[in-house]
Amino acid sequence: MTSPRAGLARRALLALPALIAAPARAQGWPSRPLRIVVPFGPGGPTDVVARILANGLSPALGQPVVIENRGGAGGNIGTALAARAAPDGYTLLVPSTGFVVNASLFRNPGYDPIRDFAPVTELGASPDVFLAGAASSIRSLDELIARAGATAGGMHFANPGTGSTPHLAGERLRILRQFSLVQVPHSSAALCVQALLAGNTEIGATALASSHAQIKAGTLRALALTGPERWFDLPEVPTMRELGFADFVTETFLSLHVPAGTPHGIIERLASASTAVMGAAETRARMRNAGFIVRPDGPEALANRVAREVPAWRELIAQAGIAQE
């Protein structure tokens, strides 16, 4: 008969491989190329930042890091693809803010941002900016509000897509100041900018990264920024806080995630390498000139942001009466 002590020892020996499996997998990783799923097409801000990250991660990890663009359904197709990938550290996801918004905007986005992913680090954030075309007589946010309030049925308001943070920033302003807007969604920020440049729509909003070049060139007029402080090379553009909207801070943020269940050691190494890449002075300068603040602050800070933003956007979407898709 086996003694209780011998039985406990035997069970401990049987459990030992499982206890050391995750660290062993992390120590042997990576042994082959990695992919970063970008849930949008090539050329947009998310794709550009993901490629900056990939170029830095490849030498840091000693393996090629390739970009896989899987656009569609506001980012849901690529994000759901990454959610179903093996949690082995070889599939990474770089989404935009739709990652936390779509859980409330869609009945079935195909993923849960908290349950299906482990956070690695935030990469960068871009404040939203309220805009007017250069030919418009609107020169301030107060003038936009006054004109919209005096326009029967509301002014047309260009945005980069339903559920984007610029779209929701417009809805928030409409609710707070109780006027009407006719939202004009576009399938990309580039098309939204083109509509404003062409004068097809007089006012609108984008992430600063998407319209920064046109603002600097004077072909679009920035009325207000939704970031916590003024932008370094747009010192004349006030923040919403400065204009009397105390809690009006919205950003388009980009982040790095892996499928839930990825070994902790792999996440730690990815976070360390990614924060080093994004924190480099050259990267920070490049990102800032493109309209992004770099915030490579690790897994815990990103987890807190996701946990905070999912319910906040859900509440605003409900207040705005935006129907789920």
SS3 letters across 56-117: HHHHHHCCCEEEEECCCHHHHHHHHHHHCCCCCCCEEECCCCHHHHHHHHCCCCCCCCCCCE
- In the beta sheet, which residues pair with residue 310? none
pLDDT tens, position by position, 219-234: 999 999 999 999 999 9
| Cα gap 129→147, rounded to integer Å | 18
Tell me, what's the pLDDT at 238?
98
Q: Top-level CATH class of 34-126+252-320?
A: alpha beta
Q: What 3 state SS string does 220-241 have?
A: EEEEEECCCCCCCCCCCCCECC
> Which fold, 127-225?
D-Maltodextrin-Binding Protein; domain 2 (3.40.190)
Peptide bond into 33 cis (omega under 30): no
Please compute the mean of the pLDDT values over residues 67-95 and round it to a whole number: 96
Residues whose CB falls within 8 Å of the CB of residue 321, separated by 6 or more in sequence, listed in order: none
Nearest to 297 by CA among 94, 122, 57: 122
pLDDT band at 13 (very low <50, low <70, confident <90, very high): very low
Q: Which residue has the tokens 């990309």?
A: 188
Q: What confidence score (pLDDT) does residue 26 get?
A: 61
> Per residue in 83-134, pLDDT tens?
999 999 999 999 999 999 999 999 999 999 999 999 999 999 999 999 999 9
Range(s) within the chain of domains with CATH label 3.40.190.10? 127-225
3-state secondary structure (DSSP) of residue 255: strand
For CATH 3.40.190.150, the residue range(s) in the chain are 34-126+252-320
Tell me how far the alpha carbon of residue 246 is from its chain's centroid.
23
Find all residues with CB under 8 Å of 108, minimum gap 6, and list them.
Answer: none
Report the C-alpha gap between 137 and 159 in whole angstroms: 20
Q: How confident is the model at residue 188 (pLDDT cuts 50, 70, 90)?
A: confident
